[in-house]
């Protein structure tokens, strides 16, 4: 019999195959970042260097196939195929929440991607509320089982409030981050799930030692929206009210960078221009989830590979037009911040 958690994972895959779960009004505000054209870039396109070092591993380009799924038999095919693409192209890869693996150990095979991605930078994933109630040894064992290089600890209070079977107690989470940072042998990444990280939370996390953040800001997939489409009654009504809740990705990137954290920009990243704008705001890497998944559904491994290579080509082109020969130079490239993003950063 399919468990509740397996059914939820299957629902998530079905819903994210469409654009019905996108934010309705709010955008990432990356469109408010204007990069300055350099008519004399003094660079050879073929010599543009997109390499970046992240969490001790070198990526060929600053791209992450971001956390999506696990805990369901369909998830195994998706994880293995996309992890192999990440390994081939020299990107990072994120597993979906390992809660299913912890609750139902027989689903652990759906997260096993190391044989397909022996060299990829691989992120494990656990919710901070679940981590609060698990021993550090248990979490370390979960990471070892999948061969993860780092742990994303995700924060998702808005999503949980709408989820029919969601958590309601979010106390003790900052202390949990501090414990995991102190006791785990792998880096800890503070990750949101579609609602962004505020300036205040970024400062709190950095103060207790967390050095890495994954913004998952507003403007891409609304996980509140995903759960709203699964809910009914009062939960559905609450989800409709909170569908567009969150901090836009561009603002969240700046908040985390200003706090002194190595920042992965996720949440609504769709193009190489989005990646370039996020890096110009200080991000070290950018992640894409739903649009890679949709490319995979439309064209299999080849479709996902082609989509990501198109992102990379666009990034390299924008770097040339900014006169940036490296990712470090792109982080320092002239930029103009306009509109609502300027208000968020004031």
How confident is the model over 159-184, as pLDDT tens digits? 999 988 788 999 999 999 999 999 99
CA distance 91 to 57: 10
CATH number at residue 313: 3.20.20.70
In a domain, 282, yes or no: yes
Host domain of residue 234: 4-17+27-345
pLDDT at res. 60: 98
Q: At how many degrees (to 10) do helices 173-183 and 199-207 cross? A: 40
Q: Which of 61, 60, 98 is nearest to 79 (CA)?
A: 98
CA distances from 190 to 68, 156, 180 (A): 16, 11, 11
Contact assessment for residue 181 and residue 173, using Cβ atoms and an 8 Å cutoff? no
Note the pLDDT tens digit of each residue in 229-269. 999 999 999 999 999 999 999 999 999 999 999 999 999 99
pLDDT at res. 17: 87
Q: Map tokens 């990712």 to a residue.
A: 327
pLDDT at res. 1: 35
pLDDT at res. 88: 98
Bridge partners (DSSP) of residue 124 are: 151
Task: Name the domain count of the chain.
Answer: 1
Q: Does 192 score more than 50 pLDDT?
A: yes
Four-residue CA torsion sign, 250, 256, 257, 261: negative
Q: What is the mean predicted confidence (pLDDT) over 326-346?
A: 97
Q: What is the mean predicted confidence (pLDDT) over 289-308?
A: 97
Note the pLDDT tens digit of each residue in 1-55. 345 777 877 888 888 888 899 999 999 999 999 999 999 999 999 999 999 999 9
Contact assessment for residue 151 and residue 189, using Cβ atoms and an 8 Å cutoff? yes
In a domain, 242, yes or no: yes
In a domain, 12, yes or no: yes
In a domain, 22, yes or no: no
Note the pLDDT tens digit of each residue in 106-129. 999 999 999 999 999 999 999 999
Q: Is 136 exposed, middle or buried (0-12, 13-18, 19+ CB in 10 A)?
A: middle
Range list of H helices, the chain: 4-16, 73-89, 99-103, 128-132, 136-146, 157-162, 173-183, 199-207, 223-230, 233-242, 249-258, 272-280, 290-322, 327-331, 339-345
Contacts of 1 (CB under 8 A, 6+ apart): none
CA distance 288 to 302: 17
Contacts of 163 (CB under 8 A, 6+ apart): 8, 227, 230, 231, 235
In a domain, 339, yes or no: yes
Contact assessment for residue 65 and residue 287, using Cβ atoms and an 8 Å cutoff? yes
CA distance 302 to 206: 39
CA distance 59 to 241: 40
pLDDT at res. 3: 59
Q: What is the mean pLDDT of the chain?
A: 95
In a domain, 307, yes or no: yes
CA distance 199 to 174: 15
Contacts of 121 (CB under 8 A, 6+ apart): 54, 55, 57, 59, 91, 92, 93, 149, 150
CA distance 117 to 145: 14
């Amino acid at each position: 019999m399919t468990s509740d958690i397996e059914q939820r994972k299957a629902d998530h895959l079905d819903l994210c195959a469409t654009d019905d779960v996108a934010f309705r009004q709010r955008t990432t505000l990356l469109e408010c970042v204007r990069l300055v054209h350099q008519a004399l870039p003094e660079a050879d396109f073929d010599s543009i260097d997109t390499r970046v070092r992240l969490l001790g591993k070198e990526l060929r380009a600053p791209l992450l196939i971001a956390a999506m799924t696990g805990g369901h038999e369909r998830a195994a095919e998706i994880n293995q195929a996309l992890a192999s693409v990440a390994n081939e192209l020299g990107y990072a890869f994120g597993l979906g929440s390992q809660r299913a693996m912890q609750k139902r150990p027989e689903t652990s095979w759906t997260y096993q991607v190391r044989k397909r991605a022996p060299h990829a930078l691989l992120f494990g994933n656990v919710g901070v509320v679940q981590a609060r109630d698990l021993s550090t040894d248990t979490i370390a064992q979960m990471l070892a089982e999948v061969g993860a290089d780092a742990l994303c600890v995700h924060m998702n209070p808005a999503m949980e409030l709408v989820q029919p079977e969601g958590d309601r107690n979010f106390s003790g989470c900052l202390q949990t981050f501090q414990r995991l940072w102190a006791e785990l042998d792998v880096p800890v990444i503070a990750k949101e799930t579609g609602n962004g990280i505020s300036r205040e939370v970024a400062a709190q996390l950095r103060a207790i030692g967390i050095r890495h953040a994954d913004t998952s800001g507003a403007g891409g997939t609304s996980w509140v929206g995903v759960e709203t489409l699964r809910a009914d009654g009062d939960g559905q009504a609450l989800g409709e009210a909170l569908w567009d809740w969150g901090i836009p990705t561009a603002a969240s990137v700046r908040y985390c960078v200003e706090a002194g954290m190595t920042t992965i920009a996720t949440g609504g990243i769709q193009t190489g221009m989005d990646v370039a704008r996020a890096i110009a705001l200080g991000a070290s890497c950018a992640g894409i989830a739903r649009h890679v998944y949709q490319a995979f559904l439309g064209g299999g491994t080849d479709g996902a590979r082609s989509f990501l290579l198109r992102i990379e080509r666009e990034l390299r082109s924008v770097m040339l037009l900014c006169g940036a020969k490296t990712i470090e130079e792109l982080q320092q490239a002239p930029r103009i911040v306009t509109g609502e993003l300027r208000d968020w950063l004031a």
